[in-house]
Amino acid sequence: MRVLSFYSIFFVCLFLSSFLVAQEKEERKFNFPGYTIEKCLKDYEIAKKPKRRVAKLPSQKAQRFLKRLFPALEEDDLLLALEILDEMKISEDLTNVDKAQMWYYYAYVHFSQDKLKEAEKDYYNFLKIEEADPRLRANVIFSLAQIAYSREEYRKSIETMKEWLSIESNPSSTGFDIMAASHWQLNEKRMALRNADTAMCVAKANNSKPRESTYNLLLALYNEAQKTDEMLPLYKELVDFYPKKRYWVQLSSLYGTLQQESNQLSALEAAHDQRLLDKESEYIALYQLLMRAEAPFKAAKALQYGVDEEFVERKEKNIKMLAQGWHMSQELKKAEPLYKEAAEKSEEGELFVFLGQLYLATDRYDLAMDSLKLGLEKGKLKDPVTVNILLGQVSYEKQNFDDATIFFRKALDRLTDLKIKDKKLKEEKQDKLRAQALTWLSYTEKEAKRVKILEQRRRDLEES
């Protein structure tokens, strides 16, 4: 069974939407014991850490331009930034180091304006300059790989990212994310999985929270390979780091696939507690899981919330479930109007029977009689025998022994009307109901005689 059939290329597009920006900084550190960069990158050819090189400083002339440029960039005033760079470009006596800085910031502005073709040219102009700051060279190649991906040049993106790895001694997880997504787009699932695993590993080795997109791609790949067991720890981390509704629901569904119903319930209940559920199917599933866990009060309360918030349609089937939940919780005042509402919506008599049972349990015999009779009139009952026995009990409580006798005899006459397909189960049910009807019939006849004798004695005493 495939748990995540809804995964598609759409998620990969979402996955890369955050790549065309500078790498984000983590606000806090996380701890993942056992993860090291060496272990993560043991199968990759990564550049050895180069000897420290001191970058040449821009000339004083260039520094005057940069001094004006940086505030414009901080204020996100890109038009002003371009004006300053254009001035710098036509300025005389710029060194190659100055020009490299200029092209780097041209690319930054064009990238920010989503002018990727111009940014790409700027980056290549930067790379042509041997004196360019070596610390920026890896960033430039990384950005070119991003641009290639955005243009759906996936093979070029992979090759460019490999070049980045050859000069970057401390690669971030983002590069492996991009390579994984590129391989995915090329339908190279094995390489996609390898790089996605590495992206996850590197993030954890750096004590950083892995990207949400990394989890999504890994889950899609594991689902594709039907590695259900390996998806579970990823979902557990997802709901911790990114507690969104869809992850709680998917985690619950995965537990269901693994036949871990208790955990399936816990995950869905956690989503409800955070008020994340907003679909009828989710509330119905939660209700059913809670009922199976013998928690009818919590089941009814959750479904009631769904109905009240209009996530759950107020139709017969749903109202019936809600009534039964409150009924089993002994909340009869809440169950009664719901049974009545559902019964009036129904084309069958079953719900009037439920309502009649509730009235009988609370000694409202006239209402019980009317409701049970309505149930019989509407028909389509699976068990008309029990309904006649109930009518007999109501008549008995009202001291209408003749009516009670009639209903108990009707119960015996309708034993063949039981709608049970399994022959053995039907016979067992018939035997049980026959015994019950005969017991009540015998008891009623004896009680009728006893009451008749008492009544005769009372009249004799009055006459004497």
pLDDT, position 167: 87
pLDDT of residue 55 exceeding 70, the answer is no
**Closest among 101, 142, 97 to 122, alpha carbons compared:** 101
Average pLDDT over residues 240-247: 94
Report CA torsion sign: 405, 406, 412, 417: negative
pLDDT, position 229: 87
Spatial contact of 379 and 348, defined as CB atoms under 8 Å apart = yes
Tokens of 456: 């005769």
pLDDT, position 17: 40
pLDDT, position 11: 37
Tokens of 39: 């272990």
Average model confidence (pLDDT) for the chain?
89
Residue 170's pLDDT band, with cuts at 50, 70 and 90, is: confident
pLDDT, position 6: 32
Spatial contact of 251 and 257, defined as CB atoms under 8 Å apart = no
For the chain, give the number of residues.
464
In three state form, how does the secondary structure of the chain look? CCCCCCCCHHHHHHHHCCCCCCCCCCCCCCCCCCCCHHHHCCCCCCCCCCCCCCCCCCCHHHHHHHHHHHHHHHCCCHHHHHHHHHHHHHCCCCCHHHHHHHHHHHHHHHHHCCCHHHHHHHHHHHHCCCCCCHHHHHHHHHHHHHHHHHCCCHHHHHHHHHHHHHHCCCCCHHHHHHHHHHHHHCCCHHHHHHHHHHHHHHHHHCCCCCCHHHHHHHHHHHHHCCCHHHHHHHHHHHHHHCCCHHHHHHHHHHHHHCCCHHHHHHHHHHHHHCCCCCCHHHHHHHHHHHHHCCCHHHHHHHHHHHHHCCCCCCCHHHHHHHHHHHHHCCCHHHHHHHHHHHHHHCCCCHHHHHHHHHHHHCCCHHHHHHHHHHHHHHCCCCCHHHHHHHHHHHHHHCCCHHHHHHHHHHHHHCHHHCCCCCHHHHHHHHHHHHHHHHHHHHHHHHHHHHHHHHHHHHHHHHHC
pLDDT, position 49: 54
pLDDT of residue 397 exceeding 90, the answer is yes
Distances (CA, A) of 287 to 298, 329, 350: 8, 13, 21
**Closest among 268, 262, 258 to 226, alpha carbons compared:** 258
Report the C-alpha gap between 420 and 436 in whole angstroms.
18
Spatial contact of 235 and 257, defined as CB atoms under 8 Å apart = no
pLDDT of residue 455 exceeding 90, the answer is no
Average pLDDT over residues 148-168: 93
Average pLDDT over residues 382-402: 94
pLDDT of residue 154 exceeding 70, the answer is yes
Residue 53's pLDDT band, with cuts at 50, 70 and 90, is: low
Backbone angles phi, psi at 407, to 5 degrees: -65, -40
Average pLDDT over residues 323-334: 93
User: Under 8 Å CB-to-CB from 125, ≥6 apart: which residues?
Assistant: 99, 103
Q: How many CB atoms lie within 10 A of CB 88?
A: 22
Q: What percent of the chain has pLDDT over 70?
A: 91
pLDDT, position 203: 93
Cα 69 to chain center, whole Å? 46
Spatial contact of 131 and 97, defined as CB atoms under 8 Å apart = yes
- pTM of structure: 0.74
Report the C-alpha gap between 251 and 238 in whole angstroms.
9
pLDDT, position 166: 87
Average pLDDT over residues 198-220: 92
Residue 398's pLDDT band, with cuts at 50, 70 and 90, is: very high
Single-letter code of the amino acid located at 189: K
Average pLDDT over residues 276-282: 96
pLDDT, position 133: 86
Tokens of 426: 């039907």
**Closest among 271, 247, 268 to 256, alpha carbons compared:** 268
Q: How many CB atoms lie within 10 A of CB 21?
A: 10
Average pLDDT over residues 62-78: 93
- The position carrying tokens 């050819």 is 45
pLDDT, position 18: 42
Residue 225's pLDDT band, with cuts at 50, 70 and 90, is: confident
